[in-house]
Amino acid sequence: MRHTLEAYGYGEIRTPVFEETQLFVRSVGSETDIVQKEMYTFNDRRGRSLTLRPEGTASVVRAYLENHLGREAGVRRFYYLGPMFRYDRPQAGRFREFFQVGAEAIGSGDPEQDIEIIDLLSMLLHDLGLKDLEVEVNSVGHPGCRQAYESELRAALERERGKLCATCGTRIEGNPLRVFDCKNEACRGVMSRLPLLRNHLCDACETHHATVLAGLARLGIPHKENPMIVRGLDYYTRTAFEVHYPPLGAQSALGGGGRYDGLVEACGGPPTPAVGFSAGIERVLFALEQTSAEAPVEPPIVVLPLGDAARVPALELARELRAVAPTAVDLSGRSLKALLRSAGRGGAHVAVILGDKEMTRAEVTVRDLLAGEQETSPRTGVTAAVQALLQRHGGEA
């Protein structure tokens, strides 16, 4: 994941695992389930209220402002990877401490930035071996286009009040859009009859949305519109999306995100447009386990020493090969057959075999794990031989 994120020019940001509670109340929203019932909140020794981070964006925005990272004009690109905490009901694939990967592009309000963020999340999952992903995308407009819509939505909800759950009943006056987040069976039935925000966009939001859709098509990213993806807070604007892995069935979302043009300002900064995503690492691992796809555990090159005398020379050889590409040495001491099998399964492309015979002749065997072919190379020429082989596989790497 780091490899893909950095290949797109995103740099890692590491924030503390806890922040002042108010940051999450302000940024995630006081009306959300996260803030109302899922946060681990405690007082420190001076009585200040702190909270274990339930998500990553708030901390990135806080760090961005506190450290004046927006001082230079242009777009700042960040990614994070780490533990988050929510007091949720533990169930299959869901933990109270869980890991997320996320990226934020702060400083651009343009639709092309949304396209890049969606492309980045799809490529991140694609590079792990998850093919056939599907992006669901929607626009939640800007606060202006939501205002007119909300009164119409309130009227429609008022007519259905008797069928809604108690929580949604209170949402009619407060934040009616939040009804779309309800998991209640009866509320979900009502949803299909409600007016859609998607059909109430102003011209500027409509154009932005059309540009995002056209860009996804141009990049060949499979996608469809889903008007039910709603983020009912004022900070969220325009693009909202989820990336699904359909083989997982009902719970197929691996990640999602969207544009949050109002968040930096809500956290005390100047008006600054931004867009980002997050994905659950446990969900991704679960998806990989459900398919034949396995997360690559080996780098492109693996050196396989056979016999005791070859072990230290293998470490020396690997040092040279690292100039070409990341290289691991398998020191498990198993048979050649077992070594080759795990190198291939682990996702390595080239195995460099160093045994007694090769040692005495100052040679190595270079095996193409994708094609299943091998050749002998003089020890001195091994770097060039491996490089040529990897270049031939360049298109597949």
* Binding residues vs Zn ion (CB under 5 A): 141-142, 145, 165, 168, 182, 184, 187, 202, 205
CB of 282 to Zn ion, least distance (A): 27
Residue among 38, 1, 43, 45 at smallest CA distance from 20: 43
CB of 144 to Zn ion, least distance (A): 5
Angstrom distance (rounded) from CA 138 to CA 221: 15
CB of 195 to Zn ion, least distance (A): 16
Q: Which is nearer to Zn ion, 141 or 305 (CB)?
A: 141
DSSP H stretches of helix in 160-261: 166-171, 185-191, 203-218
Q: Are 304 and 333 in contact (CB under 8 A)?
A: no
CA angle at 66 for the pair 65 and 70, rounded to the nearest 5°: 40
CB of 183 to Zn ion, least distance (A): 8
Q: Which is nearer to Zn ion, 169 or 347 (CB)?
A: 169
Q: Are 351 and 343 in contact (CB under 8 A)?
A: yes
Q: Which is nearer to Zn ion, 29 or 56 (CB)?
A: 29
Q: Which is nearer to Zn ion, 181 or 298 (CB)?
A: 181
CB of 233 to Zn ion, least distance (A): 16
Question: Half-sphere exposure (CA, 13 Å, Cβ side) for 257?
Answer: 30
CA angle at 198 for the pair 137 and 24, rounded to the nearest 5°: 65
Give the 3-state DSSP-derived string for 79-96, with helices as H, strands as E and coil as C. Answer: EEEEEEECCCCCECCECC
Q: Which is nearer to Zn ion, 202 or 288 (CB)?
A: 202
CB of 204 to Zn ion, least distance (A): 6
For residue 329, list its beta bridge partners: 303
Q: Which is nearer to Zn ion, 145 or 304 (CB)?
A: 145
